[in-house]
Amino acid sequence: MEQNIKKNNNILFELVNDLLGLKNYSKDNLIIKTLESVINKLNYVINENEKNIELIKNDINTLYNKFEKLNINTKDNQELQLEYGRYVGEVVNGLAEGQGILYAYDGSRYEGGWKNGKQEGNGILYFNNGDKYEGEWKNGKKEGKGIYYYNREPYKGDRYEGEYKNNKQEGKGILYYKNGDRYEGDFKKGKQEGKGILYFKDGTRYEGGCRNDLPEGNGIIYYNNGDREMGDYHNGNKIGKHVTLTKDGKIEEKNY
């Protein structure tokens, strides 16, 4: 009987030590409080030589569920000192792999997936200027679909939702401006380029070509009064002959 109690106590002591180590990896107050509660109850079980530890079962489940939501596997968490910051998370063969957090020396922070020491899969990057990117990564770069939240002036309040390639906004996307306007269409190397639609908050919209964030090539403006203007653009300026069809059916021409 005494031998079994001693064996059980040794197991409980190991659990306490594991939980104490786990506590050091977390800055979440709820997790820390849960850990402290579990540790206290385990110590009580040890001191009283209790045979039934069901009283801590719910706390253990709560703890695992909380870490499950954080998408962090606490069993394999390690710390690495990298050239550009401190990494805490899963490690395979000495490299970040799985889920982890990078605390960069410039004040930015990345939380999410890793593969072969580089960001991979889904992750969130908190920039030191307040901006935030949330989306897909590949080989250490933003790649796939993502959302970029601007929190720096003069873009504070703007938001991009769409495709990325090689760390740049590229492909199909939507840029929401803080003033209520929005652009939907093609992007290339972080700029509006290709075909797109610019919706103005007053109800007017432009449909046509874009380059370097400006109307380029052929386009149509649908005014909020019902008129429609067709013509060419260069660097955002009207060029050549523009034809306007009014809501009354009149045709007006003007050269630029």
Report the CATH number at residue 233.
2.20.110.10
Distance CA 121, CA 238 (A): 43
List average pLDDT for each run of 10 residues in the chain, which is 256 residues long.
50 56 52 64 62 58 57 65 94 94 96 96 97 98 98 96 98 98 98 98 98 98 97 97 95 96
pLDDT of residue 72: 47
Q: Quote the domain boundaries for residue 6.
A: 2-70
What residue has token string 């710390």? Answer: 79
| Number of domains forming the structure of the chain | 3
Q: Answer with the one of 53, 70, 87 that is the final residue of a domain.
A: 70
Amino acid 123: pLDDT: 98
Beta bridge partners of 143: none
Q: Do 134 and 109 fall into the same domain?
A: yes
Residues 186 and 250 in one domain: yes
User: Cβ–Cβ contacts within 10 Å for residue 20, how many?
Assistant: 12
Whether the ω angle into residue 154 lies within 30 degrees of 0, i.e. cis, is: yes
Domain membership flag for residue 196:
yes
Q: Count the helix, strand and coil residues of the chain and give each as a percent rounded to the nearest 5.
A: 25, 50, 25
Does residue 174 fall inside a structural domain?
A: no
In a domain, 173, yes or no: no
Q: What is the model's pLDDT at position 74?
A: 45
> Residue 33 has what pLDDT?
61
Final residue in a domain of this structure, among 50, 70, 90? 70
Do 64 and 84 reside in the same domain of the chain? no
Q: Is residue 136 part of a domain?
A: yes
